[in-house]
Structures are given as structure tokens and as C-alpha cells.
Structure 1
Amino acid sequence: MRVLLTTWGSRGDVEPLVGLAVALRGLGADARVCAPPDEEFATLLDRVGVPLVPLGPNVRSVTAGMKPPTAEDAVRLASDLVAAGFDTLGAAAEGCDALLANGMMAAAGARGAADRLGIPYVYACYHVRGLPPRHVPTAAGGQSGQDAADKAHWEQGQKANAMFGAALNGHRAGVGLPPVDDFRDYVYTARPWLAADATLCPAPARTDIDVVQTGAWVLPDERPLPDDLEAFLEAGAPPVYVGFGSMASHSPKDIARVAIEASRAQGRRVLLARGWAELAPIDEADDCFVVGEINQQALFGRVAAVVHHGGAGTTTTAARAGVPQVVVPLIGDQPWWAARVAELGIGVAHEGSTPTVDSLSAVLTTALAPRTRTRARAVAGTIRTDGATVAAKLLLDEASSEGSPVIV
């Protein structure tokens, strides 16, 4: 059995697919991943012996500039990725029994490749905002907060139709496929998969789609922490971890200084994750240590709190570790994750995306309170760790039967 998995996005998009690929391999399947050609993704896949098929441009070159991409940049990238999907994915999927895509940027070409080859296609996302948008008509008496969020999601979907629709149908015509009337319905399907933990991110109750919730796809990481980091951790009380992952152009201005001073105000040392924003210490004091790409699964259980941007992967890893979180949401699904962390009582959502020393110190006070850690540890015990295996079995069932997968 051969399966192709694809996405185009940051590490938070790629790593879960690698976890699914490892689970598929454990069940005897041949899995390969089609993803951006960034060096760190190639290194990640090489670490577990899963082949990487390069798709589209390097993500860091697109997203880690001084300014976020413009609307024109996004339309151009969408068109390029649809083309790359039909070409690269079409070739990579030859001989495969199923194709699974994560995220809008890769899914259009992936569905086209699956249609052309006549193999099952599955769309998967890592959070509820990745599910098909639900239309909410504007009510005369105003909208609830949920209605407003749904309306914004619907409008975002309308923009996706405009971005991808023409390019998709142009390439479909080129390979003899009929045009698609509604891009969103075509890409999402009526049975999308939600690869998120049910405690952290419960599937919404909807009648218009049939959501298959598998649990989060976690790639086990057995790497030891570096010796110098071990020495820093052992030299004092648990530090506050601060990291914003691939958020470069979107990272809060002067966040390294703000985070270090806020942590010091709480009497805490700081563990600064360099990330794509290239965070760096503000002085030579020995209470701050900088790390690059690191085993967060081994690290997070040894820190006092995790300050981060609210990506699905970081939120899940911190929750599994039972460590309090401070989420400073920047874009996309991150405000949703921030609100969910606060709702569960396992951390605090910072109001706004530009913290000051005072505002970050204030939310750290709550995150570092004993009751927050107690709650975080309690919730950690409810989070399932078998999501990738559940999804792998479902995908192999889908590939074997070419019918609807059975919900586990």
C-alpha cells in the first residue's frame, strides 16, 4: 500500500504529516511526504527516514521577510502552487493508493491529482478554523460572537474561491477534467478530517459536513536535550520558555526584550527559542539561554511556562506536558487557540498581538500561579497520544475500500 501526504506551509503544517507517515510505515504502508523544500523540513524527514518530494517554493523565503506577503503575492503563490500540485503531485502520486492533503495551499492541486489518477482523496486540518466555512446570514438584530466569527470565516473562504478558482479550472481543463463550480466544497469535501485532540479542540456540531476527528498527529521525539541546555536547566529554577516558531514578519516588535524583562519581573530565568524571527538576548546576563530547533516534548515539562504564538502544534505539545501557557496570538487560527487555552484554564490569552513588559508580566503572574499549573497537569492526563495511528488505520481503510472511512 502506498500513500502520498502533502502540505505547503510552516513546520506546524509539515511535522504532523511526518508523524502520520511514521504511523503508516508502522502499519506496513509505504508513505511519502510532498512538502516545501526548506532545509529544516528535509532534515526532519531524513531523521525518520521518510522520503521528501519538494513542492513549490521555500516557505521561509516567502514568509520570513521583513514584511508579510501582500495580497498580490498571495494570489501569485496560489496560482503557482496549483500548477505545482498538478505537476509535482501528479507525478508523485503515480502508483499510490490514496492522497491526503493538509491546508488550502496544497489541497487544490492534490484533489486535482487524485481525480486524474482515480484514487481516494482526503482533506485534513489541524484546527476548527481549517474546516469548511459555515455561512451565517447577517441578521437584522445583529450577530452573536460565534455568528460573527463564522461570517469572517465564510468571507475568508470567498477570497479562497477567488484566489484559487481560475487557476484550478485552467489546469483541470488542461488534463481533461470538468470545471469546479465551488472551490471550497471541492477541496474540503463533505467529510473532512480534524487532526486535533478532542479535549483541546472538540469538533463542532454541524449538520452540513461529517467531521472525522482522529486526534492530533504527534511525531514522537526521542532526541536528548543538548548538554549545555541541560546544564542551564539544572543551574536554577525552571525558566520561562519564549518562542514564536516560524512567525518572523508577524512577530511582535521587540518581543525578545519584552519577554526577557517580563520574565525577570517575575523572578524567572528565560529560555529563548531563536525561531525564524532570530530572537536574541538583550545583554550578557547568565539568566537567559538561547536554543535553536529543539525537542519540545522533552523540554516543556521542565519549564515554568511556555510563551508562544498559539500554533496548533506548540499548543498541543505544551498541553501534553502539563505546563502553563501564555498565548500571544498573531494570525490565522492562533486567536482561537489562545481563547481555548484560557477557556480550559491551562494558561492565559494575551490581549492583542503586541505585548508590553507590563502586559506580559501581568499574564505571566496568572500563568505561574499554582492553580494554573494544577489545572494544566489535570488536562494533560486527558489528551490522547494515538491520533496518528488512528488516522493511519482510517487512511489505509479508505485506500483499500475506496469508500468512506470508518470513524474510530
Structure 2
Amino acid sequence: MRVLLSTIGSRGEVQPVLALASELRALGQDVRLCVPPDFRDWLDELGFDVVPIGPELRATGSSHHGKPTPEQIRKSTEDTVTTQFETISVAAEGCDVLVAGGALQFATRSIAQRSGAAYVYASFCPITLPSDLHAPPPMPWRSPGEKENRALWAEDAQRWNSFFGGKVNEFRAAAGQAPVDDLPGHVFGDRPWLAADAALAPWPEPGDPRIVQTGAWIWPDERPLPDELREFLDAGEPPVYFGFGSMRAPGAVAEAALAAARAHGRQAVVARGWADLVAADAPDCLGVGEVNQQALFKRVAAVVHHGGAGTTTAAARAGAPQVVVPQMYDQHYFAGRIRSLGLGAATDPGVPTVSSLTSALEVALRPEVASRAKAFSGRVRGDGASVAARHLLTTVPLASA
């Protein structure tokens, strides 16, 4: 069977897709990946067939990347839909199953329907899938005031249809397909998958037959830590890790991070991330690039991060206390989960300060939080990608797109 796995997100979306691809390949399946060009070299080295989609995303992590104008947003939405239809159509040739992972997957199901391939949509966080028991992810355009969850989801659907539906239906009409009037319902399909850990990010309706919760798709990272990092860790007490992934962040965040760590008598490891943060030239601070988080997080006193699904899961699985600094989308959900589970703390949304980081670390570095995080780590499963791969092979090819 030939499977296309598609995502247009950052590493937080690409690495789970890689995890599923690796499991499928181990089971003898032919796998193709359609991902942003930022990740092509990495996946090429791992021996996967890669089709790049869209422009490189890394530049969006810069704090100098300005807020888009309404006209830029309109053009961007049209370009996104066009790029997906043009690129995924080519990538999907000869494929039996198309799996769309993460947000803003507008074209994949239409392409599956044209070719007769099976289709699966996979989310990495519960609140990105509709339920009367939770609201959609917070967004800056959300209208103020108290509304029931169902009304908020209807508002979300209206915006999807308004921003993206017209362009999607243009491509569908050109291919002789009927228009869709509920774009999110079309994208999610009848039985979407939730690729999130059931202990950390459970679906709010246990036993709901509409959702397949596979568990988080975790790629087993076997890279050794760089010598410089290993020597830094060996030389003293466990440091505090600060990393904000693909998020925009001003350079002053690195200075605030070190000051907050020092306030608790800790050293700091600062990940450069897509914002290219520069760590202080000091013996108690080390800057790192892309490293094996699974190995590193087992050796730190706390993980301070943006709250992406992948980083939150990696830290929880490593047993590390966490401080979440949420900025957008599902990050607010994971901030709430870390607080409610007693695994750490969260700051207010926005740029973190010395004060906010110091206060949050005061909570995360408490001995009882460390004990709770270590105990919780045993509940976080690592077989979600394997579960998903077996499910794909045994059930999905029998379903229609």
C-alpha cells in the first residue's frame, strides 16, 4: 500500500508525521511525505520520499516578521489553498491512502475523493476538533462575550467557509466535484483521528465513536547529545531549559530566561529556535540548536516552552516539570493541562519577562511538582504511532474518502 502523509506545519507537526511514516515503513508500506521545504534535507537523510510544499516557514519565527495586513491575509489564504491543490495532487499520484496531519489541510480530502483513495484527518490536540464540551482554540479574531461552545464552533465554521471555502470550491468545480458548504466538517471527515496522549490530552467524551484517539505519534530520537551540551550537563546541577520552537520571540527573551534561572540558583540551556535567540556568553548559560529533546529533558530541572503539543508531550514523558508560555492556538490548552495536572505552571500569554518566568519557575521547581511530574511520566505512552499504523492498515483502506 502506498500512503501519502501531508502536513504544512512546523517541526511540531512534521515530527509526528515522521513517526507514523517510520512505523508504516517498518511494516513494509510505501510512504511519501508532503511537508514544508524546511524539513526536506532531514527527511531525505532518513531515506523518505519527500515532496516539498509551499515556501520555507522558518522566517516566520523572527520577531521582525511584521503583522500581516488584511490584503496580505486574503492573498495568503488564496495562495495556501492553491499551493495545496497543486502540490498535493502531484504528491498523491498512485497513493491508496492520504493522511492529512495538523491544521489548515484544505485540499487533501478533495484530492482523495477524485482519485478514490481513502482519507484520514489527524489532529494533535483535542480542542482543534469540534465538541460541545470544549471551545475551539483561542484566536485573535474571536468575538468577545460569553457564548456556548456550539455557537463558537459554528462561528469558526463560518470563518473557514468565508476565508477558504470559495477557493476550495473553485478547485472542486474545475475537477467536476460538487461544492462543500461546511469546509471544516469536510476536512475533518466522519471519524477524525486524535494523535494525542490520552493521559495528557484526553478526548472529553470517553468512548465517543466519532473519534479515534491513537495516542501521540512519537518519533524515537536516538541522536546523541552534542559533546558541549553533555559536558555542560555533567558539570553541575540540572539546568532549566528554555525553548520556544517556531514561535516569534524578541532577543531579550534569552536574557530574561537566564535571569529567571539565576533567581533560583540554576543554570540555563537556551534553544535558539526559529527566533535565533542568542544565549549569554556566560559559564552558567549554554545556547543550543536542534537537539534530542527526549534525551535532554530527562536531565533538566524544568522545561520552559511555548506549549506546542510535541514539546509538552516530550517533557511530560521525560518526567520534567514544565512552564508553558502560550502564544497561540493549542498552546493555551496545554498551558491549562500542565496547571490542572500539577505538572508545573504557565505564564500569561505574550512575551515572557524576568518576573513572569521567575514566578512560574518558583512553582515548577517545587519538590512536590518534580515528584508529580516523574510519576505522571509513566502514564504517557510511546506507542501511538504504532497504534495508528496498525489501525491504518486494518481499517482505513476499507473506508471511502
Residue 332 of structure 2 corresponds to residue 335 of structure 1: yes
CA distance in 1, matches of 2:336, 2:150: 16
Runs of 4+ in 1 over 6 A off after TM superposition: 206-209
Residue of structure 1 equivalent to 2:271: 273
Specify the alignment match of 2:82 in structure 1.
83
Corresponding residue of 1:46: 44
Does structure 2 retain, via aligned residues, the 8 Å contact 1:133–1:157? no
1:255, distance to aligned residue in structure 2 (A): 1.3
Give the Cα–Cα distance (whole angstroms) in 2 for the partners of residues 11 and 118 of structure 1.
Answer: 30
Instruction: Assess, with a 3 A threshold, how the Cα gap between structure 1 residues 246 and 150 changes in structure 2: closer, same or farther.
Output: farther
1 CA distance for matches of 2:297 and 2:206? 35
CA shift digits 1:320-345 (9 cap, x unpaired):
00000000101111111000011111
Do the aligned partners of 1:269 and 1:288 also contact (CA within 8 Å) in 2? yes
Mapped partners of 1:348, 1:149: distance in 2: 26
Residues 356, 62 of structure 1: alpha-carbon distance in 2 compared, 3 angstrom cutoff:
closer
| 1:283-316: CA deviation from partner (whole Å, max 9, x where unpaired) | x321000000100011000011000000000000
Query: Match for residue 53 of structure 2?
Result: 55
Q: What is the rounded CA distance, in whole Å, between the counterparts of 1:28 and 1:352 in structure 2?
A: 44
Matched residue type, 2:339: A
Report the counterpart of residue 255 of structure 2 in structure 1.
257
Deviations 1:241-273 (A, max 9, x none): 00000002xx36721111110110100000000
Deviates more, 1:285-294 or 1:392-401: 392-401
Gap change, CA 1:301 and 1:148, over 3 Å in 2: farther
Distance 1:372 1:149, change over 3 A: farther
1:11 aligns with 2:11: yes
**For residues 340-391 of structure 1, what are the alpha-carbon distances to aligned partners after superposition, in whole Å with 9 as ceiling and x for unaligned?**
0111111111133233222211110110111001000111001111100111
Mapped contact 1:6–1:35 kept (Cα < 8 A): yes
What residue is the counterpart of 1:366 in the other structure? 363
1:142 is aligned to none
Instruction: Map residues 193-342 of structure 1 onto 2, 5 A cutoff.
Output: 193-205=193-205, 210-248=210-248, 251=249, 254-282=252-280, 284-342=281-339
Name the aligned partner's letter for residue 354 of structure 1.
V
Kindly report the root-mean-square deviation, in angstroms, between the aligned alpha carbons of the 2 structures.
2.3
> Does the 8 Å contact 1:311/1:334 carry over to 2?
yes
Counterpart-to-counterpart distance in 2, 1:237 and 1:63: 31
AA partner of residue 273 (structure 2): G
- Shift in Å, 1:154: 4.2
Unaligned runs of 5+ residues in structure 1 are 138-144
Change (3 A) 1:323 1:149: farther
For 1:333, give the aligned amino acid. D
Q: Is contact 2:161-2:181 (8 Å) kept?
A: no
Letter in 1 for 2:126: V
TM-score (norm 1): 0.90
Q: What are the ranges of 5 or more consecutive residues in structure 2 without an aligned counterpart?
A: 136-144
TM-score by length of structure 2 reads: 0.92
Q: 1:352 & 1:63 partners in 2: Cα distance?
A: 17
* Paired residues, number: 391
CA distance in 2, matches of 1:26, 1:54: 23
C-alpha distance in structure 1 between counterparts of 2:125 and 2:294, whole Å: 20
TM superposition shift of 1:151? 4.7
Q: Deviations over 1:200-225 (max 9, x none)?
A: 00012189970110000011110101
> Matches of 1:214 and 1:146 in 2, distance apart?
33
Structure 2 counterpart of 1:27:
27
Do the aligned residues in 1 keep the contact of 2:216 with 2:382 (CA within 8 Å)? yes
Identical pairs, percent? 50
Q: 1:153 to 1:100 in 2, by over 3 A?
A: same
Report the alpha carbon displacement of residue 150 of structure 1 after superposing the two structures with TM. Answer: 6.0
For 1:355 and 1:85, the matched residues in 2 are separated by 35
SS class of match (1:113): helix
Distance in 2 between residues matched to 1:42 and 1:292, nearest whole Å: 18
Local SS of the residue matching 1:108: coil
Deviation at 1:60, TM superposition (A): 2.2
C-alpha distance after superposition, 1:159-181 (max 9, x if no partner): 22211100000001111111111
